[in-house]
């Protein structure tokens, strides 16, 4: 999972989140990591981040934190993290999961990973149908993510299998806008996101 330096995270929500933007970014990442760690298909959760606060919080949950040594953008960071995963568990597949899925459920992630195991590479499109929230590669298969921009089309073009598994809305619901946050809350977010979201929603509620 890639986690941005908190000062640069969730910039699209600067206006709507106000003073709670950094807290929201950390809360969403924390809830996402916690859910992934509870998934019985997941051997290790590796977080790639250069933010010391996020690193400490996520390591305390049980994630393995590595710095973004390539420092060359999102996809090189993911390849770096996947390489660490293959060192730890060479018999396992690897996957890059968005760190802003606050409504993620361990059982939903398990169903998606079971489906992903049937293809050399696979991906899950985001709720908007433009981006990607999960990209996977089986053991021995080149891990070549194409996050950013129209990554759904990019992953299709690389031959990855698109996964649209029923009843896995939490795996697809990333949060970039206030409307996204409200949609995630409707699905049911983790406790950290829910607490911060209350503060943000209050900013937009008439007195």
CA-based nearest residue to 45, from 5, 2, 12, 101:
2
98 is in an annotated binding site: no
Residue 148 annotated in ligand binding: yes
Number of H helices and number of E strands within the chain?
9, 6
Cα-flanking dihedrals φ and ψ of residue 125, to 5°?
A: -75, 155
Nearest to 147 by CA among 87, 84, 94, 79: 79
What token pair was written down for 162? 């698109």
Was 151 annotated as part of a binding site?
Answer: yes
- Cα separation values, 64 from 35, 57, 58, 182, Å: 15, 11, 8, 30
The alpha carbon torsion through 119, 30, 108, 137 (nearest 10 deg) reads 0
Binding residues: 132, 148, 151
Binding residues for phosphoenolpyruvate: 132, 148, 151
């Amino acid at each position: 999972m890639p986690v941005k330096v908190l000062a640069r995270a969730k910039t699209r929500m600067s206006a709507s989140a106000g003073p709670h933007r950094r807290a929201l970014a950390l809360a969403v990442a924390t809830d996402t990591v916690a859910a992934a760690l509870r998934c019985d298909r997941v051997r290790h959760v590796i977080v790639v981040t250069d933010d010391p606060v996020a690193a400490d919080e996520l390591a305390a949950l049980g994630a393995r934190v590595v710095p973004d040594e390539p420092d060359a953008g999102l996809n090189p960071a993911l390849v770096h993290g996947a390489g660490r995963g293959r060192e730890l568990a060479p018999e396992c597949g690897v996957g890059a999961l968005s760190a802003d899925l606050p409504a993620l459920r361990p059982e939903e992630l398990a169903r998606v990973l079971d489906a992903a195991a049937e293809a050399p590479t696979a991906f899950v499109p985001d709720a908007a149908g433009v981006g990607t929230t999960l990209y996977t590669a089986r053991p021995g298969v080149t891990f070549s993510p194409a996050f950013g921009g129209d990554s759904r089309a990019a992953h299709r073009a690389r031959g990855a299998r698109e996964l649209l598994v029923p009843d896995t809305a939490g795996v697809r619901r990333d949060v970039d806008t206030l409307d996204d946050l409200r949609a995630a809350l409707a699905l049911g977010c983790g406790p950290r996101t829910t607490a911060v979201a209350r503060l943000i929603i209050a900013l937009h509620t008439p007195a």
